[in-house]
Amino acid sequence: MKMANNKLIYFDNASTTRVNPRVLDVYTKACDEYFANPSSIHKEGQRSLYLFNRTKEDLLSLFKLKEHEVIYLSGATEANNLAIKGVALRYKNRGKHLITSIYEHPSVLEAFKQLEKEFGFEVTYLSPDSQGVISSQKVESAIRSDTILISLMAVNNEIGSINPIEEISNLLEKYPKIIFHVDACQAIGKLEKEINYSNVDLLTISAHKIHGLVGFGALIKKKKIDLLPLNSGGGQENGLRSGTEDLPNALAFLEAIKIALNDETRNYLYVKELANRLVAYLKVHSALFELNSTENVNPYIINFSTLTKKGSVVVEALSNENIMVSSTSACHSSKEKGSYVVKSIGKDDKISSNTIRVSLDYSNTLEEVDILISTLNKIIGEIR
């Protein structure tokens, strides 16, 4: 097949994003200027510590959070593990029941499975409706007298559906013994208006989904909540995450968040235009494609299935044409079992085994979407 275009078209932004040069600049300057260990008691170390703590204050004020504190760690996987296992193991004497959903990221699901298998917890896995949404009523009806933790994602990483996090967090105010954790790493900076997280107890965010550096993120937690630390060591981050504090990454992360939140609404409206163009094409060709992303969806993630060709073959053919999309999420895209997320909204095995996820970014253009559409036309016609 001849190359349709020689420019890379990157539509895998839910998987990771290109680092913003401003973020990289902050990082490299900080590596040079502020390399002293914030735990050292000499003058340079104390300067690093001051700046490190300032990044946390700035981060909290960007999200308008007054009752929270920040724990920096290596990304959303670690934040989810610390939140879920940290709460369950710390509060196990309060109750043994936990609630999550069946379409969470593996870093959430596997943590719950471990708690079930190794530690005797009981977990209720909620199913989303056909739109990919988990309602507050569904959450409330799963609550038991021994429920200690509820963990739900804000935006699903495969189909882009948005959960009513504010509504659920307000509802849970009636249940002060239940701790509410939200994996928001696909939501931050990618909604029409950022969610108000003030009633969320634990919040997971990650740098590389918003043009920050891979390998850094935060768990933002209400101060009053205690966690069992998973790392033993030097006692950094109030004993909750031992390991030398990473000031350059903290500064770079703050820059990435500032950029993401600053232009959030404008970026959203722009990306929505791109998404609308793609969705309109998919709808017109409903004999060839089934749309899996539905109405209440974040436009950054458009998921559909190919009806006449194998999804993975189309992904590969697009890649050969320099267009990067993914089949499910990058975390399990090589296993070929079909998407458990797409199955969770009621789609059959054929649909969920042939999914394509186009995850957009504000750096993409309408022209790129048009190239994707014309290349899809060509591929769908060519593959036997």
State in angstroms the smallest separation of the CB of 215 from ligand PMP: 8
Q: Which residue has its beta carbon closest to ligand PMP?
A: 75
Q: Is 331 a catalytic residue?
A: yes
Closest CA to 168 of 181, 184, 156: 181
Tell me the H-state helices in 120-164: 136-142
CA dihedral (222, 24, 190, 343) positive or negative: negative
Beta strands in 30-146 (DSSP E): 68-73, 97-101, 122-126
Question: How far apart, in whole angstroms, are the C-alpha atoms of residue 168 and residue 162?
Answer: 12
CA distances from 298 to 26, 104, 227, 275 (A): 29, 16, 32, 9
**Interface with ligand PMP by CB under 6 A: which residues?**
75-77, 105, 107, 153, 157, 183, 185-186, 206, 217, 329, 331
Whether the CB-CB separation of 152 and 134 falls below 8 Å is answered with yes
Question: How far apart, in whole angstroms, are the C-alpha atoms of residue 6 and residue 321?
Answer: 8
State in angstroms the smallest separation of the CB of 378 from ligand PMP: 30
Q: Which is nearer to ligand PMP, 46 or 131 (CB)?
A: 131
State in angstroms the smallest separation of the CB of 207 from ligand PMP: 7
- The residue annotated as part of the active site, out of 31, 214, 313, 331, is 331
Whether the CB-CB separation of 317 and 326 falls below 8 Å is answered with no
Question: How far apart, in whole angstroms, are the C-alpha atoms of residue 237 and residue 368?
Answer: 43
State in angstroms the smallest separation of the CB of 201 from ligand PMP: 17
State in angstroms the smallest separation of the CB of 83 from ligand PMP: 11
Closest CA to 115 of 85, 90, 142: 85
Q: Which is nearer to ligand PMP, 15 or 48 (CB)?
A: 15
Write down how long the chain is: 384
Residues marked active site are found at 331
